[in-house]
Chain A
């Protein structure tokens, strides 16, 4: 497929694994950047092996649909970075790239000889981003972290869940928030480079990326010494603001009301126009105070409906209401079907595999899914030949010496 993406011409070389690193460069790949992934048999991307989020382990290194979904459009080369020759080849890749991304534990990449200083020595205007759980500085910088732990440190779980139940855990989606944040930082550095010719180093801390999601929650403490708690679906001011059970197994409708007009429409749609004048619910303040009684009334109404039926009834009355969808619900939703959110790629090992489309529609430079996530080392020969001018003999020798491994 032709590349008309806005980042066409930008080359990224990455030394990343799992989710937070790989998806950052995958986003750049959607936008047209060329992404070269450096891995090895010894250190393959972790998502080729196991997915904690979906509870799946993979038998071979080329059959992970999770890796596929997070590494679309990329090419993979194998380099065993424990060998000095491999490090030299990696530097040659850096020399012909615009952006380097790595997400090893702080200190590891410089020890391998591929830190920012080494990269800058071969490519003075390189943009180099290190993504780590806690950042490159600070007392906890070497602490080990994954999505569930850096989310916990960032303060989001404490405010997510039921008030009478432990905080909610978070899995992979938290990594993807860190990934989006990294991609934003890289894009800002790319723009600066375009304007000035100057590269730079970016230290990104995943736990801070998630903490920025809780900025207003911290401010409640800073301004009022209040420690915000979990409140389910509830909101500090809006009521109703909840999820109500509908017909069927684990089917729900979410309803949120702000204005008086929405409130009256909701009452009329439920066939309970008498509630409009009920003193318990006369304005938002009263509705919030009497929220439990209100939730009970709405729950009694919703339970007799299909979730989609409730959505149609309420949306036709201009009330914000949507079902709570599972993976199956998303896949079968007519709106998402029409907008082609689910895309299929043809993977050489796992066959036809569904992935999620890029989340933007750019009129002139569309973001696209072009190819499946690469097999381990699938492009070693091509890239070393085309970009580094290696002969088949040289490549053969490097394989023999387990530099390419």
Chain B
């Protein structure tokens, strides 16, 4: 059997929707045993989020749920009920890590706060992911991804470049904000796990999603206190010219030329036009002052060329240029496919997904792998409750009837 990096690490994930689940997935796909707890009957929120296979909103056909819950075991459990709480405590007793994302105070209210759980399992690492952290005036405020994206300053700078400031700032497409939070959280958990290996001790980690997103934009975030400048989505810095996203025949291309020789190569690509020899075109600052003129020339050159041709011929001349890929482009990209970025996954309800997105890291010794598809609701109840915790099948029936699992 191929070794996996996080073999033997036991994680209980008690989270809803995306951020916490993504954190759990990152570790599950590297070999950790992640038990995902979902509310009985309704299941996790993400099961009701698109995209759905053939647009059928079946809770077992959400592509989002499938994407962020691979390699996990799934159980249903309501720990707010005394019997459910007892089971939850036994799961935590067996675990190295608990990930939860409930509003501050809610775990304590159930008697499942860190201080209580530490008594059961002193080595426990507990991670709490909340919108604004465990302290501060907004700690109890509610926020979805949209709100976090805007509050963190990420939205304010998008889209780059915006036609004018009359139009609203926007969030990054898809679930990016939630993934930022989940990925950032995973770093602290992994570091705490490492420290436990040397010290034997567990600990509590609080993470604010907003702060995870601010850290991801740490350079743009400090321009005001350091220089009195608040950047906007007008893209002032991009006007260092020849940089940006430009429309072409069948889509868009992205160009950036941080080095002067790259700009020269770019000029070579477009045939060394006479205007490129003008004095105002000889350094980035001068070009910035003539950005509108330069951009108009570039647009004129590009308008009848396909994006892939610009991408390939540009790269052949060492110009940092790329086509702006759509989902279809990425899924059919020769490079992505040659690197094995897409893998085949078989799901009992969804069937075979032949191009499932995998991971960005290739480990020489401990490869990333999907050990099982995302669980159906309560799929591993019997395995976890009976085989791991030692409940009988009769107990299981009784718990089911009581709505606890």
Cβ-defined contact, B142 with A360, below 8 A: no
Interface residues on A, range: 35 or more
Contact of B237 with A52 in the complex, beta carbons under 8 Å: yes
The answer, among A51, A191, A214, for a CB contact under 8 Å with B6, is A191
- Tell me the bound Cα distance from A203 to B340 in angstroms: 13
Q: Which of B161, B216, B256 contacts A173 (CB 8 A)?
A: B216
Segment touching B, from A363-371, A387-395, A397-405 = A363-371
One of B75-83, B197-205, B375-383, B397-405 at the interface: B197-205
The answer on a CB contact under 8 Å between B327 and A218 is yes
Question: How far is A170 from B170 in the complex, measured between Cα atoms in Å?
Answer: 13
Q: Tell me whether A169 and B198 are in contact (CB under 8 A).
A: no
A203 CA to B253 CA, complexed, in Å: 26
Interface of B is mostly: mixed
Min CB distance, B391 to chain A, in Å? 31
Taken residue by residue from 144 to 188, chain B's Cβ proximity to chain A (1 for < 8 Å, 0 otherwise) reads as: 111111111111101111110101111111111001100111111
Q: Which of B26, B202, B223 contacts A327 (CB 8 A)?
A: B223
Decide: A190 and B361 in contact? CB cutoff 8 A. no
Give the nearest-CB partner of A145 in chain B.
B320
Q: How far is the CA of A335 from the CA of B359 in the complex (A)?
A: 35
What separation, in Å, do the CA atoms of A50 and B256 have in the docked complex? Answer: 14
| B residues in contact with A208, CB < 8 Å | 336, 339, 341, 359-360
In the bound assembly, the distance between CA atoms of A185 and B203 in angstroms comes to 22
How far does the alpha carbon of A136 sit from the alpha carbon of B363 in the complex, in Å? 12
Contact of B322 among A65, A153, A182 (CB under 8 A): A153
Q: Which residues of A contact B244 (CB under 8 A)?
A: 148, 169
Q: How far is the CA of A176 from the CA of B220 in the complex (A)?
A: 12
Q: Choose among B144, B169, B190, B226 the residue that contacts A256 (Cβ–Cβ < 8 A).
A: B144
Tell me which residues across on chain A come within 8 A of B203, comparing CB atoms: 362-365
Scan residues 225-258 of chain B and give those whose CB is less than 8 A from a CB of chain A: 225-227, 229-232, 235-240, 243-247, 252-256, 258
**A145 contacts which chain B residues (CB < 8 A)?**
320, 322
Instruction: Report the minimum CB–CB distance from A355 to chain B (whole Å).
Output: 6
Are B172 and A156 touching (Cβ within 8 A)?
A: yes
Interface size class of B (residues with CB under 8 A): 35 or more
Contact partners of A269 in chain B: CB under 8 A: none
A231-256: CB near B (< 8 Å → 1, else 0) gives 11101111001111100001010111
Q: CB < 8 Å: which of B150, B172, B188, B357 contacts A211?
A: B357
State the CA gap A183–B169 with chains docked (Å). 30
B5 touches A216 (CB 8 A): no
Interface of chain A residues 172 through 223 with chain B (CB within 8 A):
172-173, 176-178, 180-185, 187-192, 194-196, 198, 200-206, 208-209, 211-223
Q: A36-44, A273-281, A316-324: which lies at the B interface?
A: A316-324
**Do A181 and B361 contact each other (CB < 8 Å), given the known contacts A149-B254, A165-B159, A191-B193?**
yes
Chain A positions within 8 Å of B50 at CB level: 220, 236-237
Judging by beta carbons under 8 Å apart, are A166 and B326 in contact? no
Q: How far is the CA of A194 from the CA of B190 in the complex (A)?
A: 12
Q: Which residues of B contact A325 (CB under 8 A)?
A: 150-153, 156
Say yes or no for A155: interface residue by CB 8 A criterion. yes
B192 near A6 with CB under 8 A, answer yes
User: With a CB–CB cut-off of 8 A, which chain B residues contact A206?
Assistant: 360
Measured between beta carbons, the chain A residues less than 8 angstroms from B355 are 218, 222
B51 pairs with A219, CB closer than 8 A: yes
- Distance from A72 Cβ to chain B, minimum over Cβ atoms (Å): 10
Do B320 and A359 touch across chains, with their CB atoms under 8 A apart? no
In the complex with contacts A173-B154, A342-B225, A211-B170 CB distance below 8 A = no
Q: List 19 A-B pairs, Cβ < 8 Å.
A: A135-B362, A139-B338, A152-B322, A156-B174, A158-B327, A159-B173, A171-B220, A184-B26, A194-B198, A195-B197, A216-B175, A219-B66, A223-B350, A327-B223, A336-B214, A341-B214, A354-B226, A355-B222, A359-B208
Q: Give 19 A-B pairs besides A145-B320, A362-B204 with Cβ atoms closer than 8 angstroms.
A: A52-B243, A144-B315, A148-B322, A152-B323, A155-B326, A167-B324, A169-B160, A173-B216, A180-B183, A184-B26, A211-B330, A212-B179, A216-B63, A219-B357, A237-B49, A250-B165, A330-B153, A353-B226, A365-B195
